[in-house]
Structures are given as C-alpha cells and as structure tokens.
Chain A
Amino acid sequence: MMISLNKETLKIVSEQDVVLFRQRLKEYASKIGMSLLNQTKLITASSELVRNILVYARQGEVIIEVVTDRLQTGVRVTFKDQGPGIADIPKAMQDGFSTNKSLGLGLPGAKRLVNYFDIQSTPGNGTTVTIIRWKR
C-alpha cells in the first residue's frame, strides 16, 4: 500500500515555471534525505518530462508527492497535460526517436533515471506520466 504524505500541484506555463518546479522538487527530495545522486537523477528526469509538456502541449501541471511504501520513502511526480498525446508509445520510448529534432533521449532516459515509470496517453487527449524515485 502506498501512502501519500505531502502533495503540491504546480502549473507549468512557461520556461520560468520549470526553474521554480525544479527548486521545489529539490526541496522535497532533500527534505526526505535523498542522496545527491538520486536527487540529481530525479530532477533530471523531471526536467525532461516537464520540458516535454512545454514543447508538445504548451502547458500542463505537475503534482509532487512524498510517498511511502512499507519501508521505503520517495518522491512521486505526476506530469499531466492536455496536449496532442502520443500515437505510438513503444516507439516514443525508443532511444533516438524524436518528432522534434531533439536528441530523442528524453523519455527513455527519464525512465532509466527513476525506479518507477508509467506513461498513459491517447492521441488528442493528452498525456500523463508518473515517476517515482525512492530515497535509496
């Protein structure tokens, strides 16, 4: 059973929100005593996903939560947008695939940086990505 302890929702509309969001996320991660390496991994993965919101959907929201599951504590971040959605998720999860001339490493890279990664998307109805990074 996973229990959510602390919850905060942030709107993402512009590049400035990304900076604010990263700072808030760092606060949460360091508050539960996450190591610097895991903090960096979490923040980098989140940075990729939040950037996807800005690039593809222009705006959306993120929910930061501190979660515990039995003996583990961690941070869960949910990224929601009402953008165009992803037609082929397995393809989007491949290294080097991009519809936007970028490196195409954002989604697969973010998945490698976190402990739990879930992506839900229907074309035309937006995308929701949930990630969890445990404290250790």
Chain B
Amino acid sequence: MANKTSEVLSKRKNDVLEAWIKNQIQDPTLREDLMSNDELHTQSDELLNSFIQAVRSGNYSDISTQEYYPVIEILNSLSITRAYAGFTPRETAVYVLSLKKAIVQVLQDELKADQNTLIEEIIRISDLLDSLSLVTLEAFIKGREEVILRQTSEINEISTPVIRVWEGILALPIIGTLDSERTQIIMENLLQEIVNTGSSIAILDISGVPTVDTLVAQHLIKTVNATRLMGAECIISGIRPEIAQTIVHLGIDLTGVQTKSSMASALRSAFTKQQMVVTKAKAKQ
C-alpha cells in the first residue's frame, strides 16, 4: 500500500506542527499556568519528529513494534510529567487528539484530488492516533497511581509517631486501620525507640482505630509480645465501650495484656509503676 501519509507528513511537517500548536493554544482547556508556550513547542516538535519517523515504516496498526518505541517513550514521560504537574486526564488526551486534527487538515489539503486515498489515509491515521492517546491515558493513570502510592507510604510513615511522654514512658497513638504493613512499621519504630530511650513502659493508644477485629487484635498482641521480649511493658489504652463488648463477643483473649480505657489512666498507671507521684504545686505563701 502506498505510504501517502508519511510522504505528506515529511513534506509538510512544519505546517502540521504549526496547525497542531495552533489547535492546542486555541483549546480553552490549555493550561498556560502549568506549561509555557515555548515548552509546548519543543515538546510537540520532538514528538512529531519521532512520530513521522515511525510512520515512515508503513506500519499503522501495531504500536507495540520497535518503530514506535521512541514515540511511546516520549508520550509516557510526557503523560507522567503532566500527571505530576496536575493536568487532568482530558487535557492530556486532548494533546494527542489535537494532532489528529492537524494531520487531517494537511492531508485534506494535499489529497484534495484523490478522495478515496484521502478517506483511507484518514481512517488509518485516526486509528493510530487513537491508540496512541490510549497510551497517554494509561501512562497518565500510572503516574497518578505512583503519586497515590507515594502518599500512602508517606501517611504510613507520619501516622505512626513514637512520643516520649516522660522519662521511661513512650506513647504511640495509632490512628486508622491497622494492617500488617502498618503493624510492621509501628513495631519497628516502637522497638527501636525503646532501645534508644531505654524506656520500660510503652502505651499503645487505639482511640483512633475505627474497627478492632481479630486481625487487628492479633497485630496488637504481636506488638505487645515483642515489646515484652525487649524487657519493656506495654499498656493498651483508648478502648471504647463498644469496642470492649465487641472484643468479648469475638472471644479474643487479652488477659495477658494490660488495658486501660483512656490515655490518662494508662499514664497514671505508668507513673505508679515508675513510683512517681504527680501532685499540684503548693500555692506560695
């Protein structure tokens, strides 16, 4: 089959580029705040060059072949940068789809005389650009997912602080669902902190844990046992009335674990164990 599009594209590359950029600039969704026109120009030029190179092979249907590697690579990195920069998926997809419009315009212009070839070429090029725009979407979503994963791990990190409330007493407020991964982080942080501070009592506060089921309980028991092996004691505080009843019905055995209803009472019992007394200062005479 004659590779008309490739010929036309090579010949009129600058026109295509111009029309494409014009399309993008006219598009009301263009985010000038996120990307300058110069940057847009360089990016588009680079992509168009590798696109023309790929089309020259005459392969329009299979974008998983070697010719399209550079194109897809550019599209991937472009989509991911855009995902990070805060573009919407629509804005990212429009970028590739507006190239279609530009190419069709130029093809129309060049192949006026031969309508049949024109239609054929338009269908082929439009299929190709559709699959390329799907590539950008996939990459875009992947970029977003990476952002989410990064945030998740960040939340895990910051949501498990170990606080030194008093000499020898550590507190760990746990907020959110306790899964295996978080338990691991909590345990590591706690055990390390016990070594660093030489503490002998750790208070695990579960006021912020919405549901205590057997898995959460199992994780808590593991943490308590590990603390005990380090020679420290562990108190679990923040057990709400409804959680207490649920634990009983579930049949979880927490007899080996010291529990308190509030952080305050846990702290008081920790002070007692350390033989410390908290008293009000006497008013000055």
Please report A residues at the B interface, Cβ cutoff 8 Å. Answer: 15, 18-19, 22, 36-37, 39-41, 43-44, 47-48, 51, 95, 102-103, 105-106, 108-110, 112-113
Residue ID in chain B nearest A109 by CB atoms: B250
* Complex Cα gap A51–B246 (Å): 17
Contacts A44-B250, A105-B251 given; indicate if A51 touches B215 (C-beta within 8 A): yes
Contacts A19-B177, A44-B212, A102-B214 given; indicate if A109 touches B249 (C-beta within 8 A): yes
Q: List 27 A-B contacts (CB under 8 A).
A: A15-B179, A22-B210, A22-B211, A36-B242, A37-B242, A37-B245, A40-B211, A40-B242, A41-B246, A41-B249, A44-B212, A47-B211, A48-B215, A48-B250, A51-B213, A95-B251, A103-B214, A103-B217, A103-B218, A103-B252, A105-B252, A106-B213, A108-B251, A109-B251, A112-B251, A113-B246, A113-B249
| CB neighbours of A39 from chain B (8 A) | 242
* Complex Cα gap A48–B247 (Å): 12
* Complex Cα gap A77–B146 (Å): 34
Task: Name 10 extra pairs, CB < 8 A, besides A51-B215, A109-B249.
Answer: A39-B242, A40-B243, A43-B210, A44-B211, A44-B213, A48-B250, A102-B214, A103-B214, A105-B214, A112-B249
Contacts A15-B179, A109-B252 given; indicate if A40 touches B246 (C-beta within 8 A): yes
Partner of A102, one of B177, B179, B215, B243: B215
Tell me the chain B residues, 200-240 only, with Cβ under 8 Å from chain A: 210-215, 217-218
Give the number of chain B interface residues (Cβ < 8 Å): 19
Q: Does B28 contact A (CB under 8 A)?
A: no
B211 lies within 8 A of A109 (CB): no
* Complex Cα gap A44–B216 (Å): 11
| CB neighbours of B212 from chain A (8 A) | 44
**Nearest Cβ on chain A to B97's Cβ, whole angstroms:** 31
* Complex Cα gap A41–B250 (Å): 9
A109 lies within 8 A of B214 (CB): yes
Residue ID in chain B nearest A111 by CB atoms: B249
Please indicate which of the listed interface residues B211, B212, B214, B246 has the most CB atoms of chain A within 10 Å of its own CB.
Answer: B214
Tell me the chain B residues, 248-273 only, with Cβ under 8 Å from chain A: 249-252
Residue ID in chain B nearest A38 by CB atoms: B242
**Nearest Cβ on chain A to B175's Cβ, whole angstroms:** 13
* Complex Cα gap A51–B217 (Å): 14
* Complex Cα gap A47–B241 (Å): 19
**Nearest Cβ on chain B to A13's Cβ, whole angstroms:** 15
Please indicate which of the listed interface residues A41, A95, A103, A112 has the most CB atoms of chain B within 10 Å of its own CB.
Answer: A103
| CB neighbours of A112 from chain B (8 A) | 249-251
B243 lies within 8 A of A105 (CB): no
Residue ID in chain B nearest A37 by CB atoms: B242
Residue ID in chain A nearest B250 by CB atoms: A109
